[in-house]
Amino acid sequence: MALETMPFSRALNAGLRRAMEDDAKVLLMGEDIGKLGGVFRITEHLQRDFGEHRVLDTPLAESGIVGTAIGLAMAGFRPVIEIQFDGFVFPAFDQITTQLAKLTNRHEGALSLPIVIRIPYGGHIGAVEHHQESPEAYFTHTPGLRVVSPSTPNDAYWMIQEAIRSNDPVIFMEPKSRYWPKGEVDLEKSALPLHASRVVRQGTDVTLVGHGAMVTTLLQAAALAEGEGTSCEVVDVRSLSPVDYGPILDSARKTGRMVYAQEASGFTSLGSEIAATVMERAFYALEAPVLRVSGYDTPFPPANLEGAFLPDADRILDAVDRSMAY
């Protein structure tokens, strides 16, 4: 096996490079992604190696970027857009939700729009307003979009390639706080398809479920819980729309308890949907109600308050204790 240890950000870069080598129709578009390599350097050296005709620096106009990508996709290209920060996606929201998500249905399947929109999202980096958001629920609520979020460098490497190969538009949510930690990447074979959830830690007492950067926090909580005598199983959702419920339901039926954790606010969120579905489909196997731990229902706070806003291992352990008390 060709295994290499690399940061999440470099794994994304390597995945984009491989996709561009495999298909000349793959184009990258975004603000400062060329010579600069993007604010997080995800596209570093790609313009140098593939040319300005395939790695395009765009104006600061997210709606125009998405609209241009739609036209390019109609002409047979496979555009990959970088949204510089999560909060900057909203100027493009109309193009994404009223055009990109609907055009294939409007053409009764005769038109494909193979567009990937990369969005760095979430907190833990001490950024300012509009630079720390968790907008995934807006897109999972929109039929016609696929939404995924890798949590490891290996998933980043393979999922970006699989997203680019998809003939449907994919919202590719990148947990920006995970850009720097390193992990092992298998450069030869993907372990899972794009839309599959995965058990990342075995346990018997409580199922902990989450996506993106929260998976790392869940693993931290599970390790602490084990020291207190509680065995936690951890499931990484990976695909936010569609959701692969098989491993989630199997785990919930096995442990009888479930806690969902996310950085996003809790009201009408992905955690709300998954909790409701588990309650509907695994009700008779549950020993306690499904509990949720989330960001608060307020705007994302300034950097010095994000530690109080974002769920940490202690808040997850509190939910575990409450679940075990039923």
Structure tokens at 29: 């578009």
Q: What is the pTM of this model?
A: 0.96
Q: What is the pLDDT of residues 112-125, one digit of tens each?
A: 999 999 999 999 88
Q: Provide the pLDDT confidence category of residue 225 given band limits of 50, 70 and 90.
A: very high
What's the chain's average pLDDT?
96
Residue with tokens 């629920």: 137
Could you give the CA distance from residue 174 to residue 2 in angstroms, rounded to a whole number?
A: 24
- Note the pLDDT of residue 10: 98
- Note the pLDDT of residue 130: 85
∠ Cα 284 232 136 (to 5°): 80
Which residues are designated catalytic?
A: 131
Q: Which among 160, 186, 212 is the end of a domain?
A: 186
In this prediction, residues 48-69 reach a mean pLDDT of 97
- Does residue 118 lie within any of the structural domains? yes
Tell me the percentage of the chain whose pLDDT exceeds 70.
Answer: 100
Shared-domain flag, residues 209 and 316: yes
In this prediction, residues 200-212 reach a mean pLDDT of 98
- Does residue 307 lie within any of the structural domains? yes
Shared-domain flag, residues 235 and 169: no
Read off the DSSP letter of residue 110: S
In this prediction, residues 116-143 reach a mean pLDDT of 93
Q: Which of 94, 178, 175, 100 is nearest to 136 (CA)?
A: 175
Say if residue 63 is exposed, middle or buried (CB neighbours under 10 Å; 0-12, 13-18, 19+): middle
Q: Which among 151, 186, 221 is the end of a domain?
A: 186
Q: Provide the pLDDT confidence category of residue 205 given band limits of 50, 70 and 90.
A: very high
In this prediction, residues 280-293 reach a mean pLDDT of 98
Could you give the CA distance from residue 318 to residue 121 in angstroms, rounded to a whole number?
A: 26
- Note the pLDDT of residue 289: 97
Shared-domain flag, residues 134 and 99: yes
Containing 239, the helix (H) or strand (E) segment is strand 239-241
For residue 254, the enclosing domain spans: 198-324
**Omega prior to 311 cis, within 30 of 0:** no
In this prediction, residues 225-237 reach a mean pLDDT of 97
Shared-domain flag, residues 79 and 54: yes
Range from 18-32, 124-138, 285-299 carrying the lowest mean pLDDT:
124-138
Could you give the CA distance from residue 127 to residue 125 in angstroms, rounded to a whole number?
A: 6
Shared-domain flag, residues 250 and 281: yes
Roughly how many angstroms between the first and final C-alpha of the chain, as a whole number? 46
In this prediction, residues 214-236 reach a mean pLDDT of 97
Shared-domain flag, residues 155 and 227: no
- Does residue 191 lie within any of the structural domains? no
Structural domain total, the chain? 2
Q: Provide the pLDDT confidence category of residue 1 given band limits of 50, 70 and 90.
A: low
- Note the pLDDT of residue 128: 81
Structure tokens at 86: 């999560």
- Note the pLDDT of residue 126: 83
- Note the pLDDT of residue 303: 85
pLDDT exceeds cutoff 90 at 165:
yes
How many CB atoms neighbour CB 166 within 10 A? 18
Q: Provide the pLDDT confidence category of residue 197 given band limits of 50, 70 and 90.
A: very high
- Does residue 221 lie within any of the structural domains? yes
- Note the pLDDT of residue 311: 95
Structure tokens at 187: 């450069």
Could you give the CA distance from residue 128 to residue 131 in angstroms, rounded to a whole number?
A: 6
- Does residue 193 lie within any of the structural domains? no
CB 149 within 8 A of CB 262: no
